[in-house]
Structure 1
Amino acid sequence: MKLLSLGERKKEKELKKYIVDNKESLYRFAYSYVKNQDDALDIVHDSICKSLTKIDTLKDIGNIKPWIYKIISNCAIDYIRKNKKYVINNDLDLDDSISYDTYENIDLQKALDELPEKYKTIVILRYFEDMKISEIAQVLDENTNTIKTRLYKALNKLKLKLSDDEE
């Protein structure tokens, strides 16, 4: 077992507090990749384990949010690659006897699911996880201008998709 320095123990304590305070958001983010409760929980669990073992790579306590989201994103992508069972099927035959989460705007959810992953992730982080552009750039290892451009394109694609659905 590795001994942690005083600074690393402080980071670990802050990380644990962040995880507990934001567990629903972390789960939602993982779920946005796999659309399966059990798999999303596995991804969050793996991400927490990785983050705790790699706490020494966290340079600044103030960057916990983008750091943990980056770990979750990488774990989710790895999980999908390993399992190769995720195929988007929008023509689901839902059992009426089972209660599902209801969305206020199912058209928005469907349009979001149809976006390419590089756009979808940015929209989710910006509008559902309330991250700043600079934090998203950190999570995705991209330039802030690239993130702004992709966000703009994603919003235009969503707007076009939603306006096509209305017609």
Structure 2
Amino acid sequence: MPFFLLNLNHFDAPISLISKKKGGCGLERKLKLVKRAKKGDFEAFQTLIHEEKEKMYRMAYMYMRNEDDALEVFQESLCKALTSIHTLRNNDYFSTWVMKILINSAIAALKKKQKLVSLSNEALEYIGTTEHLQNEEQLDLLQAMDEIEEKYKTVLLLRFYEDYTVKQIAAFLNCPEGTVKTNIRRGLEVLRSKLKGVYFDDRQNSVV
């Protein structure tokens, strides 16, 4: 395993990675770090990843539902990002670029297994936006998420679990904002038809 992956802290306590902390480096400083990282500055790359690792791990876990698999996808994504950062065209989009790598790696890992990882009760610890639901309803929601098409699952996770805007999701997926909105609406419709007894709040009904 590459040393730089081991050098990222808190890997022995994944729960610490999923706390939604605010803050981080300013935009100007971040752009400078991206420029340095593209020139091969490894410390700059590590600093950038330190700011992104929490949301990346959360997303990996939402796909894999298993700590070991999530970490494997997370680390594989970092390797890909490190070796291909020179291909990043717009430095402003480092965050969306690295998250897209993570999502693609997670989807590839699931396809390789030929089936979704089975749901475990442990996954409930990582869901922040369904705290108002009872445990049974949470399980129903997570199981339904596993059963819908990837294009719907991806936009719903980004929109309602990671709080990304439609514009940001469109940048992630390199598709029109209208397509994102359509997939969110259709994804919610599929979830409602599967859940029947679980109701979405106003925020979850919104796609903007």
TM-score, scaled to structure 1 = 0.76
Mapped contact 2:34–2:44 kept (Cα < 8 A): no
Whether 1:9 and 2:36 are equivalent positions in the alignment is: yes
Mapped contact 1:27–1:41 kept (Cα < 8 A): yes
Mapped contact 1:66–1:138 kept (Cα < 8 A): yes
Instruction: Name the SS of the counterpart of 1:30 in structure 2.
Output: helix
Change (3 A) 1:26 1:133: same
Mapped contact 2:145–2:153 kept (Cα < 8 A): yes
Change (3 A) 1:100 1:151: closer
Find the partner of 2:65 among 27, 32, 35: 35
Supply the AA of the counterpart residue of 2:163: D
Q: Structure 1 stretches of 5 or more lacking a match?
A: 1-5
Residue 88 of structure 1: how far off its partner (Å): 5.5
Change (3 A) 1:15 1:151: farther
**Greater relative contact order: 1 or 2 (C-alpha under 8 angstroms, separation 6 or more)?**
1
For residues 6-85 of structure 1, the aligned pairs below 5 Å read 8-10=35-37, 15-84=45-114
Deviations 1:90-140 (A, max 9, x none): 6x7x7xxxx774453313333323322211110110111121212212222
Residue 145 of structure 1: how far off its partner (Å): 0.9
Change (3 A) 1:145 1:81: same
Change (3 A) 1:7 1:74: closer
1:3 aligns with none
Aligned residues: 154
Supply the AA of the counterpart residue of 1:23: K
TM-score, scaled to structure 2 = 0.62
Find the partner of 2:150 among 113, 117, 120: 117
